[in-house]
Amino acid sequence: MTPESMRDGGSSSGSEPPPSGGAQRPARPTRRGLLLGVGLAGLGGALAGCSTAAVPYDANEAGVVPGADEGAMPTSGGMSSPGSGMSAPGAMAATSAPSAPAPASATPTKSAKLTGTVLGAASEIPVGGGKIYTAAKVVVTQPSRGQYRGFSAVCTHVGCIMSEVANGTIDCPCHGGQFKITTGAVVAGPPPSPLPKKQIKVVNGMVVLL
Summarised one tens digit per residue, pLDDT across range 177-187 is 999 999 999 99
CATH code, domain with 140: 2.102.10.10
Whether 201 is covered by a domain: the verdict is yes
Ranking 88-92, 97-101, 165-169 by mean pLDDT, the lowest is 88-92
Residues 121-155: tens digit of each pLDDT: 999 999 999 999 999 999 999 999 999 999 999 99
Whether 202 is covered by a domain: the verdict is yes
Whether 152 is covered by a domain: the verdict is yes
Distance in angstroms (rounded) separating the CA atoms of residues 59 and 65:
4
In the chain, the number of structural domains is 1
**How many beta carbons lie within 10 A of that of residue 119, not counting itself?**
21
Whether 154 is covered by a domain: the verdict is yes
Judge whether residue 164 has pLDDT over 70. Answer: yes
Whether 147 is covered by a domain: the verdict is yes
> Which residue range forms the structural domain that includes residue 150?
125-209
Its pTM stands at 0.47
Distance in angstroms (rounded) separating the CA atoms of residues 81 and 61:
25
Whether 145 is covered by a domain: the verdict is yes
Whether 36 is covered by a domain: the verdict is no
**pLDDT of 15:** 46
Whether 7 is covered by a domain: the verdict is no
